[in-house]
Amino acid sequence: MVQVAPLRRTGRPLGATVPVIEIERKFLVAERPSDLEGWPSSAIEQGYLTVDQEGPEVRVRRRGGQAYLTVKSGGGRVRVEEEIEIDGDRFERLWPLTEGRRIEKTRYEIDAGDGVVIELDVYTGALDGLVTAEVEFDSEEAADAFEPPSWLGDDVTEDLRYKNQRLAREGPP
């Protein structure tokens, strides 16, 4: 449930003594909320340029009007995450190189009260039919205390089959 990310999402390195802790839970969605279309949403396209899973991961991602190329080391001694902003034309030219290794989804941001936002992802393309939801928390206590609304299904936080890269490469579990 606790994922340690040594670098900020922006790609700026932190001092070695201040790791960023991301605390999030991931759920399947038993039933889409009836008011889903009323929440803000945006299309997300994410594709992997790297073919194998050894070595650094290189991916491109577009959400709304913004696109990024991200290089992320898999772990080990050197941990790196660099997010490079690219323009839409460049994204369009790189996208064909990710064929067969893509996630395409619409993300809805649902205000669940008490400062909790549920990010509900409706997948399209090769993952059509899959719906998941992620919730990020400020603390482990808040994550533990979270009572999922009835429309959320199984907690798959620890299920590796639902990791982004795995979904992109292997399709729906």
- In the complex with its own copies, the residue whose CB is nearer, 73 or 124, is 73
| Least CB distance to its own copies at residue 97 (A) | 5
User: What span, in angstroms and rounded, lies between the C-alpha atoms of 145 and 110?
Assistant: 18
- In the complex with its own copies, the residue whose CB is nearer, 71 or 142, is 71
8 Å CB contact between 139 and 23? yes
Does 93 bind its own copies (CB under 8 A)? Our answer is yes
Specify the length of the chain in residues: 173
Tell me the β-bridge partners of 20. 5
Q: Which residues are catalytic?
A: 48
- In the complex with its own copies, the residue whose CB is nearer, 94 or 120, is 94
Residue partners of 160: CB distance under 8 A and separation at least 6 = 166
Residue partners of 44: CB distance under 8 A and separation at least 6 = 61, 62, 63, 103, 104, 105, 106, 107, 121
| Least CB distance to its own copies at residue 91 (A) | 10
Residues 24-63 that bind its own copies (CB under 8 A): 49-52, 54-56, 58
Does 6 bind its own copies (CB under 8 A)? Our answer is no
Contact positions toward its own copies, by CB under 8 A? 11, 13, 49-52, 54-56, 58, 69, 71, 73, 78, 80, 82, 84, 86, 90, 93-94, 96-97, 99
